[in-house]
Every structure is written in structure tokens, then in C-alpha cells.
Chain A
């Protein structure tokens, strides 16, 4: 088993902002520690420091046991990465190195099949065996069967972008949980997982003997799994030694204590300032008082140099305003609609103002359905129409936006798009402020945290004038506060909403449910249905 020890870590962003300072905590052997905090607080950055991707500006990390890392973006991989590559990347360094050497020697062999390259290849194979490569391959087979239902050999060349977000996550989690690493850093492992998947994750985290530090915004997961909670806020981190049930009280108490300490400091400061002022007047007439005056001045200077205690972290505010507009009474009409190979034909009528939750297991075709409604090219038979004045606005975090990566939010807002008018800097900043993104306004998109990117995409939706919101897992990556803000905004939205969600708590705010069953049937329900099992489809 292993542990992680973080001491006195400091990290400054490239724009000079101090993100983390004096971060100290230990995740002991076998602990299941949650890492929580607002979007952009620095959780992912902290995990990257622990993993060694980033070197802290001050302080140090000590740890034992192999380290396995699952990054936040797994689930939204949209490049040509294959299943095989993902599994290699999640393996211990020795396996990774042996793999790369083996691949290189195979390449050489293909070009020049002489004795030297043959011996080099044989040698690389031997090293692969010594590094535990064959054992890893046996594990990978178990992993792909568990996560995707097919043996490793049949899916190793498959690109991740052909897997759903939940399938990508499941694959990585199976690999890490079954792998040899003793310490796991999991950045939002529950994103994109369907509800049975989240329950599975909870059970696996509870039964594993590995040491786990995981980031999550899902309160159900936090409540079931965490045995301590590390909070990143106010530019530093603090630890609650208990579970999530007692966390809110502990946090409130901490905030009160901070406020109290600060109040006392302010009072003491004021008292010293007053004293100095009084003594200054008295010193004018008495040399004896002059000495006391100078002594008091020194004391005040020392007091001020020591600095005030940290302030209670400010409450974050997020206000989303989704306006919409009146449309025809029938907003969406589907007749004998069938997405090729994904489900059986179904009929659907969605009325203006409806709030429809789209539920079902990972890989059932929910996202394809939303994309079809958004006007994208999705193979289907049967009919599907939008009503009069229905303007779809599509939100999916799994969608790659290569054209955004090197541009800033202010710039993207200024330019606008065909369906979204551009706005000047003043308006852009005002809108960004409402989304808690003012500080990130001039950062390139790629440097925004996962939750900041999600918030920004909701802002784009706000500015687009859509009257039909098509939301694919909108609360993933969002912290609790932003998820609540989104829920409020949806309640006030004048129009129709269809949202795919696996968020048990968010789903309850919808009034109709369209369930994509594991048997390929699509049916309506008045209550949320969370236990559709995984889709058994030939892949």
C-alpha cells in the first residue's frame, strides 16, 4: 500500500496569480480521500503536482507505491487515441517504457529485416516479459471484457472517440482498479458514468485496498465513499478528517473560525493604531512618553508585518440567464424514428415548455438522438421534425472545439457565430462575471479548468437565443453551486428542454422522462429510471 504526503506546496499560474499556497495534507495508506472545491479552485492542478507533471514552486511531495492517474478529460477524448494506447498509458512506467521500445523495434524490423533488428526485437520482447507486459495484457483482456464486453484483441485498435464518454471512463477505471498501482489519483471519475456505473464505482472504491484521492462534485458519491475530505479553497487546502455527512458543519465551523480570527486581528490592529496615535500626541510634551511612543510604533510594525490571518473564502456567485422565447405548441415530433443500429423505432411528441430528461445506460444512443435534433448528420430512418420558431441550442462537453483552444473567452464572445451575435468587451466581461469567469476572461480556452469550460459553454447557449435546449450531461464537471445555478436558469427558461443526464439529483427537476432501454426499446416514464443495465450490443 502507499501514501501521499503534500507539504507546503505553492503554485503560481503563468499569468502571475497565486493559485495555491501552503498546501499540506496526507493521504494515508488505504484512505479514500475526496478532493473538493469550486470550479477553477485548483484541484486538477494539485493532482498534476502530486503526479509529478508540474513541479511545485515551493514545497514537496512524498509518496510510496506505484501511482495510477486518471485525468479529468478521459470521457471526452476526441483524437485518434486507441484503446491499446490508453491502456498502455495507464500502466506503470516500466510497462510503458517496454511497450514503446517494443513498438520501435517492430517498426525497425518492418523496414529492415536483418539479423540485428531481429535480435533487437527478440530483446525487446524479453524486456516486455520482464516488465510484466504479458501479465498486463492478461489484465487488459479482463478490463476490456468488463468495460466494453469484448476481448482485448477485438478492440485494441478501436479509437476512443468511437466510445461513449461513460465507456471511456469505465475502461480507464477498470484498468486502474485492476492494475498494480497502489495509489490512485482520480480526477472526476464519475463524470459521464450512467447511474449503475456510478454505483459500481462507489462499490469498487469502497472495496479496494488501494489508497485513493479522488475529485468529485457528486454528492451521493462523496457521501458514500469519502472517509476524509480535502477542500481546495481560498488559495489553500484544508482537511476534514471525517466523511461527507459531517463535512458541511465542519466547513461552516472553519469559516466562522476564520472570520472570528480575522475580526480579532482587525480589532487588535485598530487598538494598536489608536494607541500609537494617542502616544504620539502625548510624546510631544513628554520625553518619557516619546520612548513609549517609539516602542508602540515598533510593536505595530511587527504586528502588521506578521500579516492578518487568512480571510474566510468569499462566497462564489453564479447567475445564468437562459431566456428562450415562445415557439409553436409542438416543439419536437418524431415518428417511427430509428437511429440506425442503436434502438427500435419510437414515436415522440414534446410540447413547448416541456422539461424532458433523457435517461438510459452508457452507449444506448442518447447523445446521437440529441445530435440529430440539433441538426447534425446522424444516420436514421423515420421522421423527426422541430416545430415553428424552434431554434435548437446544443451543449455537449464531449464535443471537441479545436478552433476554440487558443482563443480567449472575451475574444470568442466578441466575434460571435452565425447564430450568436458578437458582444463588446464590456458586455462580455459582465456576462463572464455572472458565470464566475471574470478572471478567466483573457485566458486561452485550453487553459480553463473543466468546470470553467462547461460554464463558458452554457454562457454561449445563453447568448445564442435558442428556444430548444439540447443538453448532453450538462452537470458533469460543474461544481455543486454551478449545477444549482443551471437548474434555476432552466426553471426560468422560456422554451423547451431535453437533457441527457446521469445526475440523480439534477434529473429530479424534470417532469417527463424518455428512457433508452438496454433492450433497444425507447419508452416514456413519468418517474426517472436509473437502473437500465448496460447495452449488450455487438461492437
Chain B
């Protein structure tokens, strides 16, 4: 079980219920995933695509506990990137 992820463990909370959400989602969960996937898919996918997919994943996963985001984002992005290659 991958629990005990403290809700505010990484970075600021990007989404707010008051609606003032940044136009472009950038937080450490995106940066970390981009860094790792960038290396992992080097030579197979364009870096811009990796960044775009990760950002989309982050957006789609909005509302998830912040502490769990890095894992969720990376996992979903990897799944989508793999499908892209296949």
C-alpha cells in the first residue's frame, strides 16, 4: 500500500477552489516527472512532447492529494508515452 503520503509533501497546492488557478500548471510534480521521463525516453520521443504529455497528465489529475501527485503524474505520463510509441 502506497499510503502515508502527507497531503502537502511536495510544493505548493496548485489548484484552489476559489477559481484563481494558474493558467499553466507548473509545480514540482511536473518538473520531477519531466526530468525523469525526459531521460527515459531520450532518442525515442521529442522532449517537447514529453513536457506536453506530463502537463496534460498533471491537469487531468487535478484534485488529487498533492503529496501523491509526483507518483500519479509520472505513472500516467509513462503509460501515455508508451502508448504513443506503440
A interface list, Cβ under 8 A from B:
102-103, 106, 113-115, 118-119, 121-123, 125-126, 128-129, 133-134, 137-138, 152-153
A85 CB → nearest B CB, Å: 11
B6 and A122 form a contact (CB under 8 A): no
A115 and B65 form a contact (CB under 8 A): no
**Which of A103, A106, A113, A118 has most B Cβ within 10 Å?**
A118
- The answer to whether the Cβ of B1 comes within 8 Å of any Cβ in the partner chain is yes
Q: What's the Cα separation between A103 and B75 when bound, in Å?
A: 18
B1 CB → nearest A CB, Å: 6
Q: What's the Cα separation between A77 and B6 when bound, in Å?
A: 31
Residues of B within 8 A of A134 (CB): 5-7, 65, 67
Q: Which of B3, B60, B65, B80 contacts A126 (CB 8 A)?
A: B65
A137 and B3 form a contact (CB under 8 A): yes
Q: What's the Cα separation between A113 and B5 when bound, in Å?
A: 21
- The answer to whether the Cβ of B76 comes within 8 Å of any Cβ in the partner chain is yes
A129 and B7 form a contact (CB under 8 A): yes
Residues of B within 8 A of A128 (CB): 3, 65
Q: What's the Cα separation between A118 and B60 when bound, in Å?
A: 11
Residues B51-73 near A (CB distance < 8 A): 60-61, 63-65, 67-68, 72
- The answer to whether the Cβ of B4 comes within 8 Å of any Cβ in the partner chain is yes
**B66's closest neighbor in chain A, by CB?**
A129
**Which of A103, A118, A122, A123 has most B Cβ within 10 Å?**
A122
B33 CB → nearest A CB, Å: 13
Residues of B within 8 A of A123 (CB): 64
B79 and A115 form a contact (CB under 8 A): yes
Q: Which of B63, B64, B68, B76 contacts A115 (CB 8 A)?
A: B76
- The answer to whether the Cβ of B2 comes within 8 Å of any Cβ in the partner chain is yes
A24 CB → nearest B CB, Å: 44
B76 and A118 form a contact (CB under 8 A): yes
B interface list, Cβ under 8 A from A:
1-7, 60-61, 63-65, 67-68, 72, 75-76, 79-80
Residues of B within 8 A of A153 (CB): 4
A118 and B1 form a contact (CB under 8 A): no
Instruction: Show 6 A/B contacts (Cβ-Cβ < 8 Å), sorted by A.
Output: A113-B79, A115-B80, A118-B72, A118-B76, A125-B68, A137-B4
Residues of B within 8 A of A114 (CB): 79
Assuming the A-B contacts A126-B65, A134-B7, are A103 and B72 also in contact, with contact meaning beta carbons closer than 8 angstroms in the complex? Answer: no
A106 and B72 form a contact (CB under 8 A): no
B53 CB → nearest A CB, Å: 12
Residues of A within 8 A of B3 (CB): 102, 128, 133, 137
Residues of A within 8 A of B76 (CB): 115, 118-119, 122
Assuming the A-B contacts A125-B65, A125-B72, A134-B65, are A118 and B79 also in contact, with contact meaning beta carbons closer than 8 angstroms in the complex? Answer: yes
A127 CB → nearest B CB, Å: 10
Q: What's the Cα separation between A121 and B4 when bound, in Å?
A: 15
A129 and B79 form a contact (CB under 8 A): no
Q: What's the Cα separation between A122 and B65 when bound, in Å?
A: 8
**A109's closest neighbor in chain B, by CB?**
B75
Residues of A within 8 A of B7 (CB): 129, 134
Residues of A within 8 A of B63 (CB): 126
A92 CB → nearest B CB, Å: 17
Q: What's the Cα separation between A113 and B80 when bound, in Å?
A: 11
A134 CB → nearest B CB, Å: 5
Q: What's the Cα separation between A119 and B5 when bound, in Å?
A: 17
Q: What's the Cα separation between A152 and B61 when bound, in Å?
A: 28
Known: A115-B76, A115-B80. 5 other contacts (CB 8 A): A114-B79, A134-B5, A134-B67, A137-B3, A137-B4
Q: What's the Cα separation between A102 and B2 when bound, in Å?
A: 10
B80 and A106 form a contact (CB under 8 A): no
Q: Which of B1, B4, B61 contacts A122 (CB 8 A)?
A: B61
Residues of A within 8 A of B80 (CB): 115
A122 and B2 form a contact (CB under 8 A): no
Q: Which of A122, A137, A138 contacts B64 (CB 8 A)?
A: A122
**A138's closest neighbor in chain B, by CB?**
B6
